[in-house]
Amino acid sequence: MRADRNAGMVHERMHWKGENGMEDQGVRKCPECGISVPDDVIQCPECGYPLRGTVTSKKSFLQLPSRTRKMLGVVLCVLAFASAIVGVTQMTSKEYRISVENYEYCVEKRDEVSDLADSYKSGFFKDSYEDLAEMWQDSADEQMAIIKSCRSKAIVFCVIGIVLFFFGVKFLIGGI
């Protein structure tokens, strides 16, 4: 009895494929188990996956079994989380905090020597203090470059995290 039914199923499945083994126009793959089923079937005969209203090959560019999709979704969400952490770490790192402190210190020193330079009308002291102010300004610029690079990295990693999370959730809830 069971052998008969299996034989019938195999026969039907072979019938759905074209003579040369290629898929016909009216045939699509079950997204759950991957077997070929006719377009008009509402439920997969192999695994019972509901097919009515699910995407056809034209709408979906990724026809993956749901287990693969869910796994991809989980992996993408984990990567998204990791990327977000790396992004946030850029702004909370010791390097970033030290650069901010150094920058503030350099700006403070620059203003100090600038005021001193301004207190002289001309001459050796004015020139010296102006040189010093320039030196502090250069140091401040260097620190600002580090700060800006940390901020850009933070933004990039957070954006990557958001994108990965978006696709991860899409995979998990079946949007793709």
Task: List contacts with Zn ion (CB under 5 A).
Answer: 30, 32-33, 44, 46-47, 49
Q: Which two tokens stand for residue 117?
A: 């330079």
Nearer to Zn ion among residue 33 and residue 82 (C-beta):
33
Residue placing its CB nearer to Zn ion in the complex, 67 or 148: 67
User: What minimum distance in Å lies between the beta carbon of 63 and Zn ion?
Assistant: 12
Taking the least distance from each CB to Zn ion, the nearer of 14 and 145 is 14
Task: Closer to Zn ion by CB, 44 or 158: give it.
Answer: 44
- With respect to Zn ion, which residue has the nearer C-beta, 38 or 102? 38
Cβ at position 7, least distance to Zn ion in Å? 19
Residue 37 CB, shortest distance to Zn ion, in Å, is 7
Cβ partners under 8 Å of residue 43, min gap 6 = 49, 50, 51, 52
Q: Report, in Å, the least distance between residue 43 CB and Zn ion.
A: 9
Q: If 0-12 CB within 10 Å is exposed, 13-18 middle and 19+ buried, where does residue 11 land?
A: exposed
Q: How far apart are CB 46 and Zn ion at their closest, in Å?
A: 4
State the residue for tokens 């990567």.
79
Rounded Cα gap, residues 168 and 162, in angstroms: 10
